[in-house]
């Protein structure tokens, strides 16, 4: 399944599409239809980027683990949490 991510333009923070905005917490992300279908990923990304609500959005594979989506690839899990060698930094530090 697909979730959407990008960076906040001003701060550079990693953000995830929640259905009505962007959150720093991947657990708030919603699954979206992929590709070009109406209301799907391409339309959302195009609209949100044009409004400068997000920078460089792209699709990420994720699974539903009950407590919210979990990105499939380690790189996206690292983006969602923060550096594994600095647990005091990033979203992971906020509990």
> Interaction with other proteins in 48-67: which residues (CB under 8 A)?
49, 52, 55-56
Element (H, E) at 6: strand 2-7
Q: Contact with other proteins (CB under 8 A): which of 4, 14, 33, 41?
A: 14
| Cβ-based burial of 58 (10 A; exposed 0-12, middle 13-18, buried ≥19) | exposed
**d(Cα 29, Cα 8) in Å, to the nearest integer?**
15
Instruction: Based on the shown chain and the rule CB under 8 A, indicate whether residue 78 belongs to the binding site for other proteins.
Output: yes
Instruction: Based on the shown chain and the rule CB under 8 A, indicate whether residue 3 belongs to the binding site for other proteins.
Output: no
**d(Cα 46, Cα 24) in Å, to the nearest integer?**
20
Q: Contact with other proteins (CB under 8 A): which of 35, 47, 83, 87?
A: 83
Minimum distance from CB of 40 to other proteins (Å)?
21
Q: Contact with other proteins (CB under 8 A): which of 27, 33, 68, 82?
A: 82
């Amino acid at each position: 399944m697909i979730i959407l991510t990008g960076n906040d333009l001003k701060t550079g923070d990693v953000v995830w599409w929640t259905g009505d905005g962007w959150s720093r917490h991947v657990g708030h992300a919603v699954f979206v239809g992929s590709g070009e279908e109406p209301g799907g990923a391409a339309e959302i990304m195009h609209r949100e980027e044009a409004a400068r609500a997000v920078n460089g959005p792209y699709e990420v594979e994720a699974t539903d683990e009950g407590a919210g989506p979990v990105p499939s690839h380690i790189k996206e899990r690292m983006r969602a949490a923060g550096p594994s060698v600095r647990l005091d930094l990033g979203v992971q530090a906020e509990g």
